[in-house]
Structure 1
Amino acid sequence: MMRFLPAGSAVWLLAHEMRMGLRGMEQQTSDGKKAKKGASQIALIGLAIFGGLVIAIGGLGLGFLAARFPLPQTPLVALIVTGGTLALFTLMLSQSINMSVQALFERRDLDLLLSSPLRPRVVLTVRAISIALVAVMLYAAIVTPFIVTASLLGRPEWLGLYVLLMAMAMVSTTFGIMLTLALFAAIGPRATRTVAQILAGVTGGLAFLASQMWN
């Protein structure tokens, strides 16, 4: 795709940054080890397809229910939505810290870009936007079946969820970069990534405990 974009433009640089961000996430998933070939790759592809089908079918069902039965505006619903939003924001924040460590320190290409003909403001802005876009891609893909179904069945207000997700990604990226710079100055890049991973684990545990609160 990049070969169809003007080389050196902001859009070209954004596409490059997103590609590098996705590649960095893939390396984190594999924990720095080489991907195994053969049956393990087939199993991972099958698992990804199965997960995608589950998300699509579940999203279609939830979208149908949301269109038929509007969400009641009660204190309990508001509390659940607020808790879910805070948990999602914390996950985005930990992901933004991880990607900020890669983008600002581990890739070691920032000095080269800042010395290029591109303006430093453009380089840093594009890098921050790419972190936000990569952070929101997974969650936007998960909610797309639900949003599209609900919108087509007469509830277009659910399209605002995309705006909410993008706003959360931008805010989490801002805080993520600020925390990354502060943590890097205090404890170094390796410990900064460890802090982000611990934050993600604690958030996942708290989300699970919250889901069991009413059982």
Structure 2
Amino acid sequence: MIAGLRPAPGSFTWLAAHEIRLAWRTRPRKGATRWIGYMMLLAWLAFGCFLAWILRDEPILPAPGIMTGILAGSIVGFSFMTTQAILGSQRTLYENGDLDLLFSAPIEGRTVLLAKLFGIAGTIVLTYAVLLLSLVVPIAILGHPQLFGLVTLLAALALAAAAIGLGITLGLAKLAGPRAARTVGQISAALLGGAIFLVSQLAGHGDRRESSVSVLFERFSDEGVGSTGLSGLPGHAAFGDPVAVIVLLGIGALLFVLAGIMLQRLFLSGYQDGGARLSRARPTGRATDRLFHASLFRSVFAKEWRLLARDPALVFQILLRLIYLAPIVFVAFGRGSHAPMTPGLAFASVLLAGQMVGSFAWLTVSAEDAPDLITVSPVSKAAIDRVKLMAAFAMAAPIGVILPIVIAFQTLPGALVTLACTVIGGSAAGYIELKLGKPAQRSSFARRRSGSVVGNILSILVAIIFGGIAGAAVYFIR
């Protein structure tokens, strides 16, 4: 009986179920990371049950403020879902390596594309379901069944985001080529992820005490945005309105199917071009004297910078954090006559420096492409590691001085203290990566945090300690 319910091999259902299984297998399954994640999930679920018990007899009605909040949350969530879909589409095209087998199998190309697209949507749903459903489902079970509409809203947003994210990725690959598409796609994903907050800050009023987000929210709520018309569809769907649920699910499913029909040729050509053009440039035979240096320091330093320059996609993946510096600066200086938040900027400077130096140290030390050559070289490993750490620090230095310079416009002594703590915190983060980092390939940069748990904890503690020292010092100095 159960065997009869299994989907036929090669069918859309069979491939889609396989994609979901692959997405589920990417979760941490070894060591302390898995158990920490399980404990946090259980704690979050317990909080959801506690909240559901408190609200079991309280009416939850679609008030204008709640409806506007659902609309705002849907827009922000959709932007991050689209970001995740762009990155997932790039992994599908250029990294996973299973499309050769799928396209050579007796399976229609459209079925493969739809299954991959469903896998991207499923990954998005899994990501947000852990955070959302742990709260919503207990509340819905204990007296508020209309809130099950949030589940359908999440599914509709995920389907639409997957289709749009794939379309953006394939469009970039068609216009700019596969290598440029990866770099531009990551930048676009970061811009899309931070666009909502940036726009809300730019639209604010500097002479108001309220934040820009609060001003916009109150304005929209007063004007009925999110409660009436098309803007009210997410709110009504979240509260279980069958018409709104059908409309949003229909739009998401339509975009999903249209993407499978219209993007099939672009998907195939993007995959073929990616396999043909993503190789690095070959040596030209020109004089290579400039590639060799007399000292160990200059040789290793130049080698690390050259490797970094050869992988612009990885550079931009690291520098994506700069996009989120803009909201920090807006918060600090967007208060009109009020004092800027220099202590917060000082703390953020140390935190950012620790992350950047740690990331670059991981690239130079843990992601070394030729560790065997270094082991057998007539130079001590400690000397090479010191040079690598200095190279990582030099890579992060132009970014690490940004916030101290911003603070200098308010207090020069505070800027000097911040710079000193930033240097110490960044050096400590790099040293921790040097001593506790685990070897890995450069392509696994996005999953580097699944390495040393002790190293991750120590890096966070160092950032908090020196960031707190910098923030407290700037607070008393100014």
TM-score under structure 1 length normalisation: 0.75
Q: Which runs of 4+ in 1 moved over 6 A?
A: 209-212
Rate the CA distance shift 1:157–1:7 in 2: closer, same or farther, 3 A: same
In structure 2, the residue matched to 1:32 is none
Q: How many Å separate the matches in 1 of 2:46 and 2:153? A: 23
String of CA shifts for 1:143-178, please: whole Å, max 9, x gaps. Answer: 333333223222211111111100000000111011
Query: 1:15 corresponds to which letter in structure 2?
Result: A
Query: 2:59 corresponds to which letter in structure 1?
Result: P
Rate the CA distance shift 1:151–1:47 in 2: closer, same or farther, 3 A: same
Rate the CA distance shift 1:52–1:160 in 2: closer, same or farther, 3 A: same
Identity value in percent: 29
- The answer (yes or no) to whether the contact 2:83–2:189 under 8 Å persists in 1 is yes
Point out which structure has higher relative CO (alpha carbons under 8 A, 6+ apart): 1
- The answer (yes or no) to whether the contact 2:12–2:114 under 8 Å persists in 1 is no
**1:161 pairs with 2:154:** no
In structure 2, the residue matched to 1:107 is 96
In structure 2, the residue matched to 1:122 is 111
Rate the CA distance shift 1:74–1:148 in 2: closer, same or farther, 3 A: closer
Aligned to 1:188, the other structure's residue is in SS state: helix
Q: How many Å separate the matches in 2 of 1:104 and 1:145? A: 32
Query: 1:86 corresponds to which letter in structure 2?
Result: I
Q: How many Å separate the matches in 1 of 2:140 and 2:64? A: 25
Q: How many Å separate the matches in 2 of 1:87 and 1:93? A: 10
- The answer (yes or no) to whether the contact 2:81–2:124 under 8 Å persists in 1 is yes
Q: How many Å separate the matches in 1 of 2:74 and 2:148? A: 16
Offset, 1:77: 2.2
In structure 2, the residue matched to 1:16 is 18
Gaps of 5+ in 1: 30-34
- The answer (yes or no) to whether the contact 2:60–2:144 under 8 Å persists in 1 is no
**1:188 pairs with 2:181:** yes
- The answer (yes or no) to whether the contact 2:56–2:144 under 8 Å persists in 1 is yes
- The answer (yes or no) to whether the contact 1:101–1:193 under 8 Å persists in 2 is no
Rate the CA distance shift 1:180–1:22 in 2: closer, same or farther, 3 A: farther
- The answer (yes or no) to whether the contact 2:169–2:181 under 8 Å persists in 1 is no
- The answer (yes or no) to whether the contact 1:63–1:145 under 8 Å persists in 2 is no
String of CA shifts for 1:90-147, please: whole Å, max 9, x gaps. Answer: 1111111111111123324334422321111211111111111111112223233333
Rate the CA distance shift 1:46–1:112 in 2: closer, same or farther, 3 A: closer
Q: How many Å separate the matches in 1 of 2:155 and 2:144? A: 20
**1:73 pairs with 2:62:** yes
Q: How many Å separate the matches in 2 of 1:176 and 1:65? A: 39
Aligned to 2:56, the other structure's residue is in SS state: helix
String of CA shifts for 1:10-32, please: whole Å, max 9, x gaps. Answer: 33322332344456x66xx9xxx
